Amino acid sequence: MKKSLILFLCVALTMGFSSVVSANEFELNSHSAVLMEQSTGKVIYEKNPHDSLPLASVTKIMTMLLALEAVEEGKASLDDMMTTSKRAMDMGGTQIFLEHGDQISLRDALVAVTVGSANDASVVIAEHIAGSYEGFIDRMNERALELGMENTKFVNSSGLPVEGGSNMSSAYDIALMSRELLKHEIVYEWTTIQWDTNFMGKVYLSNTNMKFLRNYPGADGLKTGWTTEAGYCVSATAKREDTRFIVATMKSENPDLRLKDVSTLLNHGFGSYKTVTINKKGDIIQTVEVDKGKNLTVDIVVKEDVSALMDRKQQENVEHRVNLPEKIQAPLTKGQVVGNIEVLYNDEVIKTVELIVNEDIEKAGVFSLMGRMFKNMLERVR
């Protein structure tokens, strides 16, 4: 691949070059906690990050993730109408009081899960997405392994304790799946709903994360959880300018102490670091020639944000470069990976972001290719 250096920045990159803040730095009530920067996945703070504990309704982050991934893949639509099963109707805990046979759209069910932590809606979603409740639980555990959630085990889609055990996870694993969910930006439309006095024409829906949303500047999500066994858990996220942090805490004694821990960690993150965005998802990086294609060229875009995390107290040199071939062979499919951008620190690659084509391009027919050859011959004669 041809390599071309395209930018040189003066920023301080913390990905692997500064130590994680130790658990002794802050006095937290939570048994475990993680502070992660969203765009890079860099962990800034950790306390007992890999202890496996009950995570209560924070479980629903994975339920939401699998549903939105199914929508993205074209396997489901937010407008799908789903039928409530008896299993869903019989769920305990927080509900929107669905009756056996009730119809609900996937969109409304996701709002009910996100805002009100509705257990009955989580079951309806699971059965619709996987075809069976058991199949959905299997997929939850498969996706957890794919994300590197090594200390997680799901037994249901809601987080309620059940006979035979509870859903288990760690603060680090919660941050991982939260980061993945936040790639689906529609989530913020739901996580910021504070209440709905007449949801679906029958239910008062109140956000379980209301106090955080109202009191912390930049707060816009994500999911709370509580059971007697799990204590108070949360995955919280907030954004200021281009910087977003995720805080996962587990087993706090009460919701006020949980919120205090979240605020303490977010204050540390925003006060000490900022995110520098080099390229935004979808930015056109280069136009490349297409060999034997119906189109002669294609625009190459970045698959996700290209960013670096800057320590506000330091200055270091960071580079990034584009790796792309001079020509790409047709046919091409929209989203096809054809190269990458590398972010470097002292000539060491510390992050790689894929480059993709932004449209389908079919292979040119024989007559089109012959016409191009004839045109080239005429231009040479001139």
Q: What is the DSSP string of 82-127?
A: EE--HHHHT--SS---PPTT-EEEHHHHHHHHHHH--HHHHHHHHH
For residues 135 and 277, the model is more confident at 135
Q: Is the pLDDT of residue 310 over 90?
A: no
Residue 196 pLDDT: 93
Contact (Cβ atoms closer than 8 angstroms) between residue 332 and residue 320: no
The angle formed by the CA atoms of residues 227, 233 and 235, to the nearest 5 degrees, is 140
| 85-93, Cβ contacts within 8 angstroms, sequence gap of 24 or more | 85/123, 85/124, 85/127, 87/123, 87/127, 87/133, 88/120, 88/121, 88/123, 88/124, 88/127, 89/120, 91/119, 91/120, 91/122, 91/123, 91/158, 91/160, 92/119, 92/160, 93/119, 93/158, 93/160
What angle, rounded to 10 degrees, do the helices at 119-130 and 60-72 form? 40
Q: Please tell me which of 149-153, 328-332, 355-359 the model is most confident about, judged by mean pLDDT.
A: 149-153
Q: Within a 10 A sphere around the Cβ of 347, how many other Cβ atoms?
A: 6
Q: What is the DSSP string of 261-282?
A: HHHHHHHHHHHHEEEEEEE-TT
Contact (Cβ atoms closer than 8 angstroms) between residue 143 and residue 65: yes
Mean pLDDT of 119-128: 97
Handedness of CA 270, 271, 272, 277 (dihedral sign): positive
Q: Is the pLDDT of residue 305 over 70?
A: yes
Handedness of CA 100, 105, 106, 107 (dihedral sign): negative
Q: Is the pLDDT of residue 372 over 70?
A: no
Would residue 60 show up in a list of annotated catalytic residues for this protein? yes
Contact (Cβ atoms closer than 8 angstroms) between residue 98 and residue 81: no
Annotated active-site residue in 30, 32, 57, 307: 57
Residue 165 pLDDT: 83
Would residue 117 show up in a list of annotated catalytic residues for this protein? yes
For residues 221 and 164, the model is more confident at 221
Annotated active-site residue in 30, 32, 47, 60: 60
Q: Is the pLDDT of residue 17 over 60?
A: no
Q: Is the pLDDT of residue 242 over 90?
A: no
Confidence band, pLDDT 50/70/90 cuts, at residue 25: confident
Six token digits for residue 367:
């007559």
Q: Is the pLDDT of residue 9 over 90?
A: no
Amino acid at the residue 147: L
Annotated active-site residue in 39, 117, 157, 170: 117
Mean pLDDT of 144-154: 98
For residues 18 and 331, the model is more confident at 331
- Rounded to two decimals, what is the model's pTM? 0.83
Q: Is the pLDDT of residue 19 over 60?
A: no
